[in-house]
Amino acid sequence: MNLPLFVSCNGELSPVGEAHVPIRHPALLAAFGVYETVQVSQDVPFHLAEHLNRMAFSARQIELELPAEPETIGTWVPPLLAANGAPECLLKFLVYGPGEGYPPLCFLWPEAMPRYPEHYYTGGADAITVAAERTLPTAKTLCTLVNFLARRQARRAGVHEALLLNNAGRVTEGSNSNFFVVREGVLLTAPAASVLSGVTRDLTLRLARQAGIQTGEQELPLAERGTWEEAFITSTSRHIMPLAVLDGKPIGTGRVGPLTRRLMDAFVAHFREEVSP
Ligand SMILES: Cc1ncc(COP(=O)(O)O)c(C=O)c1O
């Protein structure tokens, strides 16, 4: 089945072919909008409240008034999933900000879940670093050109992900993921003030602490990569994906590390609990 069949706009369902944004909509040129991606499994949107709260947090940062409260937007999800017959999907939320006679528009639609090669999880994926900085890095806005170009570079290089390297030579996050390393047994990731605080990132930090793993939020200079024992990326569609190779060279042993493996197992257990309690 090709998703989506139906799209929701401010809570009203319409066939996908009838959902349009006017070409002169101010959100298109200025990227004045925010978005979210939520995994749905067995009809359960995984951590929906966290995603909707983050959407509100992103919107506040660009002074965009959402067309409805996050709780109300959440009520638009079940009818959309039912209309599309999509118990397993990746749910997109796109809010086009208002302006010049246009109201704010919140579109929701389901897409097929991406499938990543199994060997990324068993042997680790590969990535390159790309000099790039996101505008308003703590907000998930429609201004995603930098991410898009970085991802295109990764694709050209034949690797899975592009890690963004800022002007100070620090790895901040992936093009659409957060980045973690393990150093001396401590799990480290860039501070929430300098990256998108991913829902999966925050959950991973929580699961790590619950498992008694020491965590820290600090800058990750690429020059210190020799001290990284393990590395992985996190995102809604990937969950925890180990990274084995960066810029053509192995990270640590170049294999999935023991702490990464523990966290992946903890994540799987948490996911099962949430979607099939
Ligand atoms: C720049 C960036 N960082 C991190 C993430 C991961 O966020 P989440 O775990 O909420 O999917 C994304 C997801 O799209 C992203 O675009």
Q: In the chain, count H helices and then E strands.
A: 8, 15
Q: Give the ligand 1 atom nearest the CA of 201.
A: 9
Residue spans per domain, the chain: 6-111, 118-275
Amino acid making up residue 100: E
Residue 215, pLDDT score: 98
Name which residue sits closest to atom 5 of ligand 1, judged by CA.
Answer: 177
Which H/E stretch holds residue 79?
helix 77-84
Q: Nearest C-alpha to atom 16 of ligand 1 is from which residue?
A: 176
Q: In what order do the strands lie in the sheet with 105-111?
A: 12-15, 6-9, 105-111, 89-96, 33-41, 44-45
Report residues of the chain scoring pLDDT below 70: 1, 277
Question: Which fold does the domain 118-275 belong to in CATH?
Answer: D-amino Acid Aminotransferase; Chain A, domain 2 (3.20.10)
User: Which of the listed residues 133, 196, 205, 233 should we mutate to test ligand 1's pocket, taking the one with most ligand atoms within 8 A of CB?
Assistant: 196
What is the CA(199)–ligand 1 centre distance, in A? 8
On whether the pTM is more than 0.95, the answer is yes
Looking at CATH, the fold of the domain delimited by 6-111 is given as: D-amino Acid Aminotransferase; Chain A, domain 1 (3.30.470)
- Looking at residue 1, its pLDDT comes to 66
pLDDT at 115: 95
Residue 19 Cα to ligand 1 middle (Å): 26
The SS3 of residue 271 is: helix
Residue 264 is given by DSSP the state H
Looking at residue 276, its pLDDT comes to 85
| DSSP secondary structure of 145-165 | HHHHHHHHHHHHHT-SEEEEE
Does the C-beta of 236 come closer than 6 Å to ligand 1? yes
Q: How far is the CA of 82 from the centre of ligand 1 (A)?
A: 26
pLDDT of residue 111: 97
Number of other CB atoms surrounding residue 257 within 10 Å: 23
pLDDT at 11: 98
Alpha carbon distance 2, 19 (integer Å) = 16
